[in-house]
Amino acid sequence: MSPEAPAPPFMVAPFRLDSLREPAPPVPPVPEHGKHSTKSHRRRRRGGRRALLLAFLLLLVAAGAYVGIRLSTPEPAPAVTAAALPTVRVPAQTVTLPWPTVGQSAVAVPSLGVDLASGPEKAAPVASLTKLMTAYVVLHDHPLALGQPGPTITVSQADVDDYDNATVDDDSNAAVSLNEQISEADVLGGLLVHSADNYADLLAMWDAGSLPAFVAKMNTAAARLGMDHSHFADASGVDPGSESTASDLLKVAAVDMANPSFASFVKMSSVTLPIAGTISTYTPLLGIQGVIGVKSGFTSAAGGGDVLAVERTVHGKQVLLLSAVTGQTGPVVLAQAGLHALALVDAMSPFIGSTEVLPGNRVVAHVGEAGSSIAARTAAPASLLTWPGVTATRVFVPARHVAKQAPRGTQIGTVVVTLGTQRVEVPVQLDRDIPPESLLQRLS
């Protein structure tokens, strides 16, 4: 018997962990149409999520763009609203002045817009006071800077003849010679200081080419200045047809005295001219008690007259006072007219007051911003010279631009107060800071 074959070695199967897992349940077969339905549903869900995400992103972009535009676009300035500012009326009172019993008289304070007359006025000859209008027209047509000679005027034969004829009539004149070269300033000096009648004609011919043409200019100017009772027939006042009233004369005198060149001439007691030499003024009381001009005049038809100007310091301020007296008679008629005129301006001074026309620290406006209303106040009080019965007007003028978040003390406007020719401007400042806007307010 053959020996037995050895038994095969013992075999152990390899161990697998997944063998311990529960077997997955069998997936039931899905019908063909069901597979397609599920895939389509999943695609729709993913597409919806993408659309929502895209819409959200677009919304964020639009909001950012809107915020950017809002932040970069200049915002309108804060609104400024003015409070009511009524006029200020100074209480009236009776003003009694020492009016002359002869002729006509009037007073004026140009800076206060005040003018008073002695009574009902009627046009009458005013002699050389006519030259106030002659000088006004010449300086209007040929302005002359203070201290400058101005254009040169050539003396003609007609001008020489005019002087010769006037001298025979014993009128006030200044010598001239043929072809003399004389400046506008010298001719005006001779006209206003020495009251030279022939210089009035010389200026009229130079300005307008003829006396009638110049007289027409004088009457046009008188109408423009509101001199309703005035009519001029010549440039010198020798013609009695040159008529005016005391009140009318002060209207042109006020404008004349506002011209520095005119005012410099009438302050002079004498003037030195190329041919005429040194000639003196006829204006009485010049340099006495503050008298700074203006002009006197006399003819037999007009009597004696004087338009007088003085400067006074009233309540710490310089003020110009004017008076006019016409139709005076007597042996020293110009001096008499001058004394009456001076008495009138002296009597006026006590009636000039100083009135506070705008208090300081007064709320005159409000600034609206960021839901707030911030008061704005006057930075200082303001006072003006006044006369009984006058009124001062007050107007708030806003600044051109008020910055957002402006700090306290920022000027947001000005109150302008006027009375006559007086004018004062008072700054208006914020009472507190303008607060910043919140982001919500900026987006709303």
pLDDT in tens, the chain (444 residues): 444 444 444 344 444 434 434 455 554 554 455 555 555 555 566 666 666 666 655 655 555 554 454 445 556 678 888 888 999 999 999 999 999 999 999 999 999 999 999 999 999 999 999 999 999 999 999 999 999 999 999 999 999 998 988 765 656 899 999 999 999 999 999 999 999 999 999 999 999 999 999 999 999 999 999 999 999 999 999 999 999 999 999 999 999 999 999 999 999 999 999 899 999 999 999 999 999 999 999 999 999 999 999 999 999 999 999 999 999 998 899 999 999 999 999 999 999 999 999 999 999 999 987 677 899 999 999 999 999 999 999 999 999 888 888 899 999 999 999 999 999 999 999 999 988 764 434 444
Answer for the pair 323, 341: CB distance below 8 angstroms, yes or no.
yes
Q: Please, what is the angle between helix 197-208 and helix 184-193, to 10°? A: 140
Chain-centroid distance of CA 296 in Å reads 34
Rg of the chain on CA atoms, in Å: 47
Decide: residue 385, CB within 10 A, 0-12 exposed, 13-18 middle, 19+ buried. Answer: buried
- Dihedral-angle region of residue 106 (phi above 0 means left; psi in -120 to 50 means alpha; beta otherwise): beta
pLDDT computed for residue 10 by the predictor: 39
Q: How far apart are CA 364 and CA 378, in angstroms?
A: 7
CB atoms inside a 10 Å sphere around CB 358: 21
- CA distance linking residue 367 with residue 134, whole number of Å: 53
Beta strands 79-82; 317-328: pairing state: unpaired
At 20 the pLDDT is 39
- Residue 305 CA: distances (Å) to CA of 125, 188, 209, 258, 261: 10, 20, 30, 22, 23
Residue with the two structure tokens 């600044």: 399
**HSE of 236, CA atoms in CB hemisphere, 13 A:** 25
What is the rounded distance in angstroms from the CA atom of residue 65 to the CA atom of residue 63?
5
Is 416:392 a contact under the CB 8 Å cutoff? no
- What single letter denotes the amino acid at residue 208? A
The letter for the amino acid at 337 is A
Cβ 328 vs Cβ 103: under 8 Å? yes
pLDDT of residue 83: 87
E strand segments, 204-316? 243-244, 270-273, 277-280, 291-299, 303-314
CATH architecture of 104-351: 3-Layer(aba) Sandwich (3.40)
Query: Cα-flanking dihedrals φ and ψ of residue 25, to 5°?
Result: -65, 145
Q: How far apart are CA 143 and CA 96, in angstroms?
A: 39
Token pair, residue 207, equals 């300005």
Cβ distance 385 to 112 under 8 Å? yes
Q: What's the pLDDT at 52?
A: 65
Nearest-angstrom CA–CA distance, 272 and 189:
9
Amino acid in position 175? A
Torsion sign across C-alpha atoms 245, 224, 258, 193? negative
Q: Which of 413, 439, 444, 430 is CA-nearest to residue 372? A: 430
Which residue shows structure tokens 């003390």? 409
The H or E element containing residue 350 is none
Chain centroid to CA 62: how far? 50
CA angle 392/398/400 to nearest 5° reads 140
Q: Do residues 214 and 204 touch, judged by C-beta distance below 8 A?
A: yes
Tokens 């919140």 correspond to what residue? 438
pLDDT at 176: 93
89: β partners? 391
The reported pLDDT for the residue numbered 405 is 83
Report pLDDT for 248: 98
Indicate the DSSP class of residue 231. Answer: B
pTM flag (> 0.95): no
Predicted local distance difference test score (pLDDT) of residue 191: 97
CA distance 286 to 279: 15
Q: What is the pLDDT of residue 40?
A: 56
Say if strands 104-109 and 88-89 run parallel, antiparallel, or are unpaired. Answer: unpaired
Which residues, at least 6 apart from 257, have a Cβ–Cβ distance to it below 8 Å? Answer: 110, 263, 266, 293, 294, 309, 320, 322
**Domain boundaries, given as residue ranges, for the chain:** 72-90+356-443, 104-351
Q: Is residue 159 within 8 Å of residue 333, measured between CB atoms?
A: no
